[in-house]
Structure 1
C-alpha cells in the first residue's frame, strides 16, 4: 500500500500516514462545506462547522426578521451541520404546510427528543409513515372515547371539578402570597392522569411532586442542551453533555412511573370495559386491529407524549396568563368583569365561550406572544 502511494505521488515523498490524514481532511471539508442542491439562498455570516449559529446572536427571532427583509420570505439557515429552510408570510407557509403538506410532514431529527421518546416509538418524534398515521388515528379515537370532545360524554365536568379543587387550594392561603406554579401543574396533570391511567393526585402528594420535578427538569434541559441536537457527537464530551445526562436521568424516573402503571393495568385489565387510555392501548396491543405491531413499549412512549405535550403546554399557558394579568391590572379587571357578567359565581363552561370574547382574546394573545414549550 505504501509503495502504491509513493508511485501515485512520487514528487512529494508522501507517506501512508500523510495520505490518510490528507484524505480524512478532504472528506471532512467536503462534509463541512457541502451545500445541498435546490436550496434557497444563505444569508451572510455562515462559518464552517457552526453555520449561522453565531450570526443568529442572542435574539434569533430579530435576526431572522432582518434576514427576511434582505433575502425574502424563503431562505436557508445553516444550523451547525444541518440546513434549515425558513418560511415567512402566509403564502409561503400555506404553500409548504398546506398545499404540499405530505412533502413537509415528517420531523427533523433532534437527538435529545429522539432519545427521550425511543427514536420514533411514540407519536411526537415519529417520522411520517403509515405506522405514525395509524398510531395518531388510534390515539385520537381513544381520547375522544375518553371525553376529549365537545358535547355529550365530554370530560368537561372533570375539568370543572379539578378547577374547583384548585380554587379551594388557592383559598387555603387566605390571601397570602404563594407560588402557584406547582398547584397549577397538579391541576392540569390530574386531568391528563385521569384520562391516561384513571387516577388523580392530591396537591400535597410527594410522589407526584417528584414526578412533576422530573418533567420540569427534562423540559428545561431539552431547551438548554439544543447544541447537542445540532452536534450529537457532543454527548460524549464531559461537561458539555450535562444536559443530555440530566435528561436521561430524569426521563428514567418518568418511564418508571409509566411502566408501573402499565403493569398495574395489565393485571386488572377489563376487556369489556376499558377505563382509560392505557386500557385502550393494551387492548390494541393484544388485538392488533388498528395499529400494526403496537407493543407495550410503544404504549409507554405514547403515554409519555400525553404527559409532556399536555401538561407543559397547558400549564405554561395558564402561568403566563396569570403573570400578564398581574402585570396588566386593567386587563385583569376587564377579564373579571366579563366573567362576572356572563358566568357569575359559578365555574365557566364550554357553553360560555361564545359569550366571553375578551377572555378568549387574552388567552389567544398569551399563546401568540409566548412560547409554550421550551424546545
Structure 2
C-alpha cells in the first residue's frame, strides 16, 4: 500500500514538473532569427523594469545601441520595436500587407469588444467594410473641406469656449482642461447624436464623466496588458472590474441614444452618425460587420479616440505657449494681421493665410507625440522584414516618438521651433518627413481630418481672443508628460487674459 501510494505521489510529482517544464519551455524559448534584443531581460517580467514609466524614452535610447529594429520582452512575450521614420514607413507603408493587423492583447481586445469596433480590430474583410462605412459617414457628416462641412459646428464650439472663458474672468489662474473637454466632446456629440449640450447639462456631464473614467481605466491597465492572467487573481483584479463597469456604463448611455434615434429615424434624411449606421443596418444583408452590438462599439470608438487625443494636444499647445511667450506673440501677431479687429473666430479659409499658426500646431504635435507608441501592429502571417523573421501575431510597436524627435530630421528636437515646418518662402511644408502625429499606412487615424479641423479652429480662436501665461512666481511646469492612455501634460493653472 505504501509502495503504491509512493508510486502515485511520484507520478503526480513527475507530472507536475513536466507541466512546469513544458510551460517554461513555451514561455521562455526565444524564437529564432528575431531582431536583436537589449541585455537585462529578467525572467517573467522581461524588460519591463528597464522600461519604467517612460517606455518611449528608453526604447528611443536603445535605438542608438541596437538599431532601428530590435526585440524587447514584455513580460513573457517578444515584442518587435520599430524606431525612426524609415523603419516605421517601410513596415507600415511599404510592407502594409504584412503589418496592418493587430495582435491578441487582452485589454485592447476588451475595450474593442474583441474586434467589434474599428481601431483595434484585426485586418480582415469585416475591418475593411467597417472602416469604409465610417470614412464615408464622416465625410457625409461634414468631415471635409467645403460647403456643408463640420466647420460651422466647430466654430460654434470655439465661440462658446471663448464666451465661457470670458465669463469666468481673469481674476484667478485656472486650469482649462474641463472647458476644452466640453468643447471637443460637443463636437463629437453633434456629429454622433445630432445635438450639442449646454455646459451644465446633467446628461452631458454624465457622459463626459464615464468617458473620462473609461480612458483613465485603460491607462491604469498597463500591467494587465502584459499579464492578462491578473484578471483572475482576487485582490489585484479590481482594474479589470472597473474597466468592465466603465465599458458597460458607456454602452448603456449609447444604447439609450440609439433607441431614441430608432424611434424617430427617417432613412431618407439622416441627421447624424447613429442615423447613418441604423440605415446601413437595415439596408445591408446581415453580416458580421454591422450588427446591433457593433453599433455601440463603433460609436464608443469615436468618443474614446476622438475626445481624449484632441484635448491632450490642445493642452500641450497651451502649455508650450506659456513656456514660449515669444512664440505665442508671433502667432497672435499673425492672427491680428490677417483677421484684424474682427471679434469672430477664424475660418478654415484663413488657414493658408496663417502659416506660422499652422506651423505652430504642427510643432506641438511633433514635440509631444500624444501617442508615443502607436497602437500595436501585428503580421497576419509569418513575415521576413529587414532579414529578420517575425512570426504571425507578434506585437510590433512603431515608436512614433523616435521619429518625431529624431535629430537627423529635427536638429535640437527638444527646442520648440515652429519654423521647422516653414520653407524658405514662409509657406507650410505640407508633407514633412519623420512627422507622424497620426501614424501611417492602412491603420492611420480615421479621424485625422476632423482632428486637423478642430486643432486649427480651436487653437487659433483661443490665441486670437486670449493671452495665456503662468502666474508670477509660479514654478515652471515639467514637459516630461505622464504616460497613460496618452502622454498627458501636468495640470497647469494659467492666467487667461482677454485681448
Asked if these proteins are the same fold (TM beyond 0.5), I'd say yes
Answer with 141-150 or 220-229: which moved more.
220-229
- Residues 262 and 319 (structure 1 numbering): CA distance in 2 closer, same or farther, change over 3 Å? same
Are residues 1:348 and 2:346 paired?
yes
2:97 partner SS: helix
Q: 1:135–1:291: 8 Å Cα contact kept in structure 2? A: no
Distance 1:184 1:251 in 2: 23
Match of 1:90 in 2: 85
- Matched ranges for 1:213-362 at <5 A: 213-288=209-284, 293-344=289-340, 345=342, 346-362=344-360
Q: 1:218–1:251: 8 Å Cα contact kept in structure 2? A: yes
* Two-structure CA RMSD over aligned residues (Å): 2.1
Q: 2:28–2:76: 8 Å Cα contact kept in structure 1? A: no
- Residues 204 and 295 (structure 1 numbering): CA distance in 2 closer, same or farther, change over 3 Å? same
Return the offset for 1:174.
2.0
- Residues 65 and 174 (structure 1 numbering): CA distance in 2 closer, same or farther, change over 3 Å? closer
Distance 2:259 2:67 in 1: 54
The unaligned stretches of length 5 or more in structure 2 are: 372-483, 486-499
- Residues 287 and 200 (structure 1 numbering): CA distance in 2 closer, same or farther, change over 3 Å? same
1:85 partner SS: strand
Q: 2:224–2:231: 8 Å Cα contact kept in structure 1? A: yes
1:304 partner SS: helix
TM-score normalised by the chain length of structure 2 = 0.70
Answer with 194-203 or 321-330: which moved more.
321-330
Answer with 277-286 or 347-356: which moved more.
347-356
Distance 1:37 1:243 in 2: 35
Task: Choose the corresponding residue for 2:48, options 24, 48, 53.
Answer: 53
Deviation string 1:153-206 (CA, Å, 9 cap, x unpaired) is 211111111111111111111223333211211111111111111111101112
- Matched ranges for 1:1-375 at <5 A: 15-177=10-172, 178-288=174-284, 293-344=289-340, 345=342, 346-373=344-371, 374-375=484-485
Deviation string 1:300-358 (CA, Å, 9 cap, x unpaired) is 11011110111111111112212221222222111111111112323111111122122
The unaligned stretches of length 5 or more in structure 1 are: 7-12
Answer with 71-80 or 351-360: which moved more.
351-360
Return the offset for 1:367.
1.6
Return the offset for 1:110.
2.9
TM-score normalised by the chain length of structure 1 = 0.92
Distance 2:335 2:106 in 1: 45
Q: 1:114–1:125: 8 Å Cα contact kept in structure 2? A: yes
1:101 partner SS: coil
Q: Identify the structure with the greater strand proportion.
A: 2
Distance 1:338 1:307 in 2: 33
Return the offset for 1:61.
2.9
Distance 1:222 1:372 in 2: 15
Q: 1:134–1:290: 8 Å Cα contact kept in structure 2? A: no
